[in-house]
Amino acid sequence: MLALSDSMLRGVRVGGRFDSDLYVRGGATVRDWTANVYYDNDQYGSRSISVAGYQVILVHVGTNDVSNGRTSVEISLDIKELIDVLRRNNRDAVLVISGILYRPVDDDTSYAMVNSTNAAISRVTDRFPGVLFLRSHTLFKSGNTLLSQLFDHSGLHLNQAGQGRLGTYLRARLARGSLVRDFTLTRRTVPQVLR
């Protein structure tokens, strides 16, 4: 498994049944990751990552896009472009897009934006075979209350308890049986790599 993330996955253990490689880039946006995995004529850029050969690719990015003022439509279109680039470079992998998390530092101003962006991303992922959207953002709210005790003192990143919560969720959801069930429950074709 390959995981591509902004700094929200730093310290999060995402591996499980699959061998995993985790690339975390602080401050990364969706467009940054699109540029980092793209190659032309088999020539990679200096920071490019090959996504070939992975069975599962997890993408957890978007927090910086929200804080940089991009709209939900812009971010969802950026996610679509990233999915297209990942598919060009690995046709067989299951792609899993993890929802953008709320953060205490900007929850008052971004709560509605995070909700609308996650809804837009979910609609985009539904249009692609072999792509799932995880509502990981729901782990950090109780009703309308942000669980700020799961974040560090800056309110920007997860603390150890938050990392543990997100890691447990991702490992459970990325298990082969869970992925097969998610595709089956949504009446979508189970990708060959999971059969």
* Cβ-based neighbours of 194, under 8 Å, separated by 6 or more: 55, 94, 176, 179, 180, 183
| Residue 92 φ then ψ, to 5° | -100, -20
pLDDT surpasses 70 at 168: yes
Q: What percent of the chain has pLDDT over 90?
A: 78
What pLDDT does residue 186 have? 86
What pLDDT does residue 120 have? 97
What pLDDT does residue 114 have? 94
Q: What percent of the chain has pLDDT over 70?
A: 93
| Mean per-residue pLDDT, 172-186 | 93
| Contacts made by residues 183-189, CB under 8 angstroms, sequence distance 24+ | 183/132, 188/129, 189/129, 189/130
* Token pair for 180: 């097969």
From the number of C-beta atoms within 10 Å of its C-beta (0-12, 13-18, 19+), residue 68 rates as exposed
CB contact at 8 A, 175 and 167: no
pLDDT surpasses 60 at 63: yes
pLDDT surpasses 70 at 90: yes
What pLDDT does residue 108 have? 78
Q: What is the pTM of this model?
A: 0.92
pLDDT surpasses 80 at 17: no
pLDDT surpasses 80 at 43: no
| Mean of the per-residue pLDDT values of the chain | 91
Give the chain's domains with CATH numbers: 2-194 (3.40.50.1110)
pLDDT band at 38 (very low <50, low <70, confident <90, very high): low
pLDDT surpasses 70 at 64: yes
pLDDT band at 109 (very low <50, low <70, confident <90, very high): confident
pLDDT surpasses 60 at 70: yes
Which secondary-structure segment (H or E) carries 153? none
| Residue 53 φ then ψ, to 5° | 90, -10
Residue 98 DSSP class:
E
pLDDT band at 44 (very low <50, low <70, confident <90, very high): low
Alpha helices in the chain (DSSP H): 30-37, 63-67, 72-89, 107-126, 160-173, 176-185
